[in-house]
Each structure stands twice: as C-alpha cells, then as structure tokens.
Amino acid sequence: MVTPTPKISVENLRLSYGHKEVLHGVSFAIAPNEILAVIGPAQSGKTSLLRCINRTVEFTPGAVMSGTVRVDGEDLMRMADVYGLRRRIGMVAPLPVGLPLTIYDNVAFAPRCAGLTAKAELDARVETCLRQAALWDEVKDRLDSLGTKLSGGQQQRLTIARALSHDPEILCLDEFSIAIDPVTTMRIEDVLQELRAHVTIVLVTNLTQQARRLADRTMFLWNGDIVEMADTDVIFGDTPRDRRTFDYVNGVFG
C-alpha cells in the first residue's frame, strides 16, 4: 500500500506538553488520495497528531515535538513557509468555529489571506466550498449575515467550507460530525468520497461505523501509541492482529 513517495510520512513522532508525553514515537505513512481513519478513545493523542501535521501545535506553550513528519517527502520542520504548508492542509476542528465575520468573509478569509482579491474568483470559490459543505442552499440568500449567528450544525459545515476554501491537498477532519444531523453527515461523507480524487484525507472519528464506511485504512491509536494500523476490513474484521483492536471496535473496551 505504501508507495515510494507517501503523501504524509511520520517517523518516530514524539510530542509532549510540558512533562506529559502524549505521543510516544508513532510512525506511519499515508498514500496520496487515501482516506485514513484514526480511531481511539479520548486522550489517545488523535487531535495532537493532526496538530503536528499542520504545525499548529507550535502555538501551544510548552509543546515539544521530535521525530520527522514529511509532506510529499519534505521535512516539515525544515519548511521555511509554514503558512504555505497550512494552506496545503485543510483542518476541521471538532467544535464549530464560526469566525465573527459574515458567512461570505468566513469562507473568503483564507483565499484573501493568501492574496486573492478578484471579486469574481472569490465569489466562485465561496459558492463551490459552501456547496461542498452542503450549506449553500441554506445560506445563499444571506451570505452577508454573521457566521456566528448560524446554528451549531450550520457553523460546523461553515468550518468545513472554510477548510476547503484554500483548495487543500490534505484534509484533516477531527470529529467533524458531532454537531451535524445524520442526513447532512451522509451528504458530507458523499462529498468526501468525491474529494478523494484529488485530496488525501485524515479522518479522526469516534464513530467507528463512519471509519468503516469511508476509510481505506484505519489506525487504532491508544494512549499515544499505534496499536494497529491496517486495511479497514482487517481492523473491523474478526481477526485484527491485536486483541485490543477487536475489543475497541466491538465496544467491549474497558
């Protein structure tokens, strides 16, 4: 499965906040256009892992990261343009964050930060992203109202639209569906299936069924270590390599 140049490759990644180590040297690789699901109980380091990939973990005081993370073979820590890196990665946080700007400005924020100013181009980008996030029909008549006034589920889809707005090569979704109803969740999952044609997706989820539906491979992360990472069929099958994986996906985990 692992191709000569993986989209993301992680070697012996360790991360600690102060004296507490939350990732104990994990290594894995993600192929281009793959959907990788990351499952695991709370406090297992799933979110921290995503924050290492786009280097926003650096904003946390006391966070110390070691090991190497490569995107397209390029060492993350040696990249001069960290903003350019983050523009290649779309990140969706578990709790919806509507910036206190208009709906339009929320989505146009990233393209504008990257220097795009042409009105027509911005308009097209905003519409495409809102459609992909299954939000366009609900907000197309009030694009200039405040993003923070939307409902929780709408704000979450706004967050997804914003994560797509800078046309990322990698999309990291952290529990994107906790604030969204099942029907909309399915619509977004369909969009993810379409996006995989040109995007690599890392999907952190507590819904094991979601991982099963979408992912090519699944990683079971527990207490900062990878217990098992294999094809989704294997992880959810009757004979995963590790007993704990079987227990977790079947809900008998203590």
Partner 1 sequence: MNPPTFTATPLVRRKLRQERLARAVLAGMVLAMVLPLAAIIAYLVVQGAPLISWSFLTQNPSNGMRAGGIWSALVGTIYLVVIALLVSAPVGVLCAVYLNEYARENWFTRLIHLAVVNLAGVPSIVHALFGLGAFVLFAGIGRSILAAALTLAIMTLPVVIASTKEALAAVPMSFREACWNVGASRWQTIWKVVLPNSISGILTGVILQVSRTAGETAPIMFTGAVFLKKIHDDTLFPYALTDQCMALSMHLYTVTTQVTNAPEALPYAIAVVLLGAVLLVNAAAILLRGLLRSRKKW
| Among 26, 71, 139, 163, interactor with partner 1 by CB under 8 A | 163
Residue 211's nearest CA partner among 254, 245, 239 is 245
Among 109, 116, 136, 216, the residue binding partner 1 under the rule CB under 8 A is 109
Q: Is 146 in the site for partner 1 (CB under 8 A)?
A: yes
> Is 177 strand, coil or helix?
coil
Q: Name the phi and psi angles at 6, rounded to 5.
A: -65, 155
Show contacts with partner 1 in window 11-70 (CB under 8 A): 54, 56, 59, 61-62
**What minimum distance in Å lies between the beta carbon of 145 and partner 1?**
8
**Count of CB atoms situated within 10 Å of the CB of 80:** 6
Q: Which residues neighbour 108 within 8 Å (Cβ) at sequence distance 6 or greater?
A: 122, 125, 126, 165
Nearer to partner 1, 85 or 186 (CB): 85
Judged by CB under 8 A, which stretch of 70-78, 86-94, 217-225, 244-252 contacts partner 1?
86-94
The nearer residue to partner 1, 70 or 162, going by C-beta atoms, is: 162
Q: Identify the residue among 46, 86, 157, 217 touching partner 1 (CB under 8 A).
A: 86
Interaction of residue 115 with partner 1, rule CB under 8 A: no
